[in-house]
Chain A
Amino acid sequence: MRESVYDVFTRKERGDRLQHVGYVDAFDDETAKVYAWTTYSEEKWFEMCVVKRVNVLPVNRTDGLFVEAQDSSHD
C-alpha cells in the first residue's frame, strides 16, 4: 500500500491567508482530501486544499523535505 505525502493548506476565515497546517499520507487524491479533512478538524475552515508534495516546486533551497520529495519522485 504505497502512499504519497500531501501538504494541507487552510484558510480560517474569508480574507485570511492560506496557510500550511500540516500533511498527511494517502493512496490517492480522493483519500488525501478525506484524511486531511478528518485529521485537521480543529477549526471550521472556510477553505481547505491539499497538494501532492511532488507538485510543490522548491524555488531557492537545495535541501529540505520539498527537495527530497522531488528527488524521490524521480526514483
Chain B
Amino acid sequence: MSQLTDEELMRKVQGGYMVEGPEDMTEGYRKALRVQLTVQADTELMSAPSYWMAARHAPSTNTQVSAHAIIQDELAHANIAYRLLEDIGESKERLVYGRQPYEFKHPYGFDQPLDNWAELVVATGFFDRAGITLLSDVHENTSYAPLKRALVKIGMEETFHLRHGEVWMRRLAKAGGEARELVQRAVDWMFPMTIEWFGLPDDMKRHSGQLDFKLKGLTNDQLRQVWMASTVPLCEELGLDAPAHWDEDKSEYVLDYPFPCQYDAVEKHWAFDEGEISWDAVFERWKKRGPMNEIYVESVQRSRLDVQRWLTA
C-alpha cells in the first residue's frame, strides 16, 4: 500500500501518474477501483446467461455461432475483470460463487428475460453499446494501467457485438411486419432501461472518488449523452421510435418521457403516463432485482460445489 494520502494520490493521477498495482494505491483508491471493477465484472458475467438463454432463438446455425461467440467474449471479459480484482486482494471464488443473487452489482437490465431473437439483437445493439460507452471512457481516462491494457481486447470485441446487434436490427426493421414490430417492442423497453443504467443524474450524484482518482473521465449525464448520440440516430435511420430527440437550443439529447419512471417487469412496460418517480423508488426496484436474477445467477453457480466435491472425494 502506498504511503501517500488520498489527496496526494489524486493530484498525482490527475497529473498523468499511472498506478501499476496495490503497492501504488491508497486504501481509498483501492476501494473506488474495487467498486468499479465489481460492477464491470458482474455486468459481463450476468450478460452471459442472459444472452445464452436467448441464443436458443437464433434463426440459423450461423447465428447460433455468432451469438455464442458473443457469450464466449462476455465470459472472458468477466474472467479478466475478476482476475484484476484478485490482484487487489479480492477473491474471485467468493465473488462468483460465494454471493447471493441480490448481491451482484450488474444493472437491472441484465435481470430481465430476453424472449426472442429481436430482443437479443436489440440487447446487443443497446446494452453492449452502453458497455462500450462506459468502458471506452475508462480506457481513455483510467489511471489504473492493468485495466487500461485489458480494455484493448474488450473494446475490440464489444464493438463486434454491437455491430452484430445493429446489422440484425437493420435487417429485421427493413423486413417490416411482425419482425419490425418485435424490434420496436424491444426498443420500447430497452431504450429507457439503458438510459436508467447510467445511474443518478449529475446534480444528485454522491461523491464516489472515481472521477477524482481518474478511474473514469465522464460523468453519468455525459455518458448518457454519448450513448444517445449514437443510438437515437440509429433508431431514426431505421424508422424506429425512440423516446428522445436532439434539442437545438440545449445542444443535447432530451428524453421525451418522465425520467426516472416506474417499470412493470412482467409486462415489460414503462409507466410513462404515471409520471416521474423518485430515485429512491428506482433504487428500491433495483434492490428487489428483476425476474431473472436468481435464475441467471443460479445457472452460473450451480455445478461448482458438485464438481468440487467430486474432485476432492
Give me the interface of A with B, judged by CB distance under 8 Å. 1, 20-25, 38-42, 63-65
With A1-B308, A21-B153, A25-B92 in contact, do A39 and B80 touch (Cβ < 8 Å)? yes
Contact B80 A22 (CB under 8 A): yes
Contact A25 B83 (CB under 8 A): yes
B211 within 8 A of A: no
Expressed in whole angstroms, the Cα–Cα distance for A40 and B27 within the complex equals 31
**Dominant SS at the B interface?**
helix
**Which residues of B33-48 are within 8 A (CB) of A?**
none
From the candidates B20, B79, B153, B308, name the one contacting A24 in the complex (CB within 8 A).
Answer: B79
Expressed in whole angstroms, the Cα–Cα distance for A71 and B76 within the complex equals 28
Nearest residue, chain A, Cβ from B311: A1
- Contacts of A21 on B, CB cut-off 8 Å? 149, 152-153
What are 20 sample pairs from A and B whose C-beta atoms fall under 8 A apart? A1-B308, A1-B311, A22-B149, A22-B150, A22-B153, A24-B79, A25-B83, A25-B86, A25-B92, A38-B72, A38-B76, A39-B76, A39-B79, A39-B80, A41-B72, A41-B76, A42-B156, A63-B21, A63-B23, A64-B21
Give me the interface of B with A, judged by CB distance under 8 Å. 20-21, 23, 72-73, 76, 79-80, 83, 86-87, 92, 149-150, 152-153, 156-157, 308, 311
Expressed in whole angstroms, the Cα–Cα distance for A24 and B150 within the complex equals 12
Contact B153 A42 (CB under 8 A): yes
- Contacts of B72 on A, CB cut-off 8 Å? 38, 41
Q: Taking A22-B80, A40-B153, A65-B87 as given, write out 5 further A-B residue pairs in contact, using a Cβ cutoff of 8 Å, ordered by the A residue number.
A: A22-B83, A22-B153, A25-B92, A64-B20, A64-B23
Expressed in whole angstroms, the Cα–Cα distance for A1 and B308 within the complex equals 7
